[in-house]
Amino acid sequence: SYDEMTKIRKNNVNPALTTYYKKPLALHQGYKQWLFDINGRRYLDMFAGVCTVSVGHAHPKITQAVTEQMDTLGHSTNIYYHTKLHEYAKKLAEKLPDKLECIYFVCSGSEANDLALLMARSYTNKFDVISLKNCYHGMTYQMMGMTSNNYYKYPVPGAAGFFKTTNPDVYNGIWGGKNCRDSPVQTDRPCSCGSECEAGLRYLQQFECELRHDIPKGGLAAFWAESIQGVGGTIQYPKNYIKGIYQRVKDQGGLYVADEVQTGFGRTGDYFWGFESHGIVPDIVTMAKGIGNGYPLAAVATTKEIATGLAKAGHFNTFGGNPVACTTGLSVLEIIEEEKLQENCKTVGTHLLLELEKLKSKFPVIGDVRGKGLMIGVELVEDPKTRVALSTEKVLKFWEKCLDMGLIVGKGGISGNVIRIKPPMCITKEDADFTVKVFEVALEDI
């Protein structure tokens, strides 16, 4: 019962794992984009277990494939061959640019980034890593050094060698202008850099300045970025920023690492990988969440040359490439293609973005609507002129009201005032319209 779970939660579950909502949601079942609580109440899941359930809850094709695999071989480790790992490694590599042909399977996004860090440092023989302020790359002790310390409040002594550059945020940052991000909806921030928007250039100049003055010259091993910032509040970078960074990092002999944990697998609509929209080919790509539709599966893809560096150093992982996990991953790839889910992200996502933009013109509390495909952020503010974040109390009121009406959405951003929409990729236009309708009622409430 609910009360029993509350008691167990208090006594036996580490309290660091906080729950959402005043009365935590107790889930019992899921089907496609729907979740059902222990009382049988249905919710439209527009957050997908933090951007993870990519093809839908309890997808019958996955259930069948996984059941068959469990019956055949539930576990095998990397010291043996098994067919599913090899089949999946080949299929996944085919989805990536040719040079990223070498896959290492692990079990979570943090683990993938941690391993990629080891690859980057051991391959380059350099130590310094630059990431963006507000970024999220994981919660292993090393990844905390790389991840913005806005998300935790204790010291990370192993954080030597991690540097953060200014977040190129065109809504909250210093520079930005019309059309400077890749989205069906645009920012209306007055451009501060002349008749043509040059926000990307300005942030690049800032980066160069930081490289010259703030970042010790131990040698740059890698630059790390999500292709769109997820936990940071669906932050899209100005056009040409990532391309410029890529060039400057290469000039320094560093690697470019793309964290595709949230943006991969077609979610952003136009492309299968988020980095494609920046016109670059990374040296290392990390992926998790949507890759396994909720199954603990993650991967690092890189070139043979970089992978060989790790092989020389030696490395092992017991669960990475587990046959059931690989079966799930294979099914996810098939379902995305069979059900045209990437295309669905583009059409339904664009429709939802434009409808939310219309809502913005009615409610000044919506400061910004942004995103691509089904990776959407709605930033709530006290006043659209000052752009001060809406109070936590009001954000929570909005958010609880959505739940009351059967809608699950996420929240994020440094001030917790960005409503995050990252549903299973199979949602329909009707689901998008329902979401907008619920937002309208909840906004009227606050």
The residues of the shown chain that bind ligand PMP, judged by CB under 6 A, are: 50, 108-110, 113, 136-138, 226, 230-231, 259, 261-262, 288
3-class DSSP string for 309-373: HHHHHCCCCCCCCCHHHHHHHHHHHHHHHHCCHHHHHHHHHHHHHHHHHHHHHHCCCEEEEEEEC
* Residue 244 one-letter amino acid: G
Q: Which residue, 366 or 374, has its beta carbon nearer to ligand PMP? A: 374
Give the Cα separation of 257 and 124 in Å (integer). 13
Q: Which is nearer to ligand PMP, 197 or 375 (CB)?
A: 375
Cβ neighbour number for residue 247 with a 10 Å cutoff: 12
Nearer to ligand PMP, 131 or 183 (CB): 131
Which is nearer to ligand PMP, 62 or 287 (by Cβ)? Answer: 287
| Min separation Cβ 136 and ligand PMP, Å | 5
Spatial strand order in the sheet of 255-259: 102-106, 298-302, 284-287, 255-259, 220-226, 128-132, 162-165
Q: Are residues 298 and 107 in contact, defined by beta-carbon separation less than 8 angstroms?
A: yes
Q: At closest approach, how far in Å is the CB of 184 from ligand PMP?
A: 22
For ligand PMP, the closer CB: 177 or 412: 412
Instruction: Give me the least distance between CB of 282 and ligand PMP, in Å please.
Output: 14
Closest contact distance (angstroms) between CB of 51 and ligand PMP is: 7
> Rounded to the nearest whole angstrom, what is the least distance from the CB of residue 297 to ligand PMP in the complex?
10
CB 134 to ligand PMP: min, Å: 11
Query: Cβ atoms within 10 A of the Cβ of 208, count?
Result: 13
What values do phi and psi take at 115, rounded to 5?
-70, -40
Looking up tokens 């002129």 gives 385
Q: Which is nearer to ligand PMP, 198 or 226 (CB)?
A: 226
Among the listed residues 170, 166, 165, 167, the one whose alpha carbon sits nearest the alpha carbon of residue 192: 170
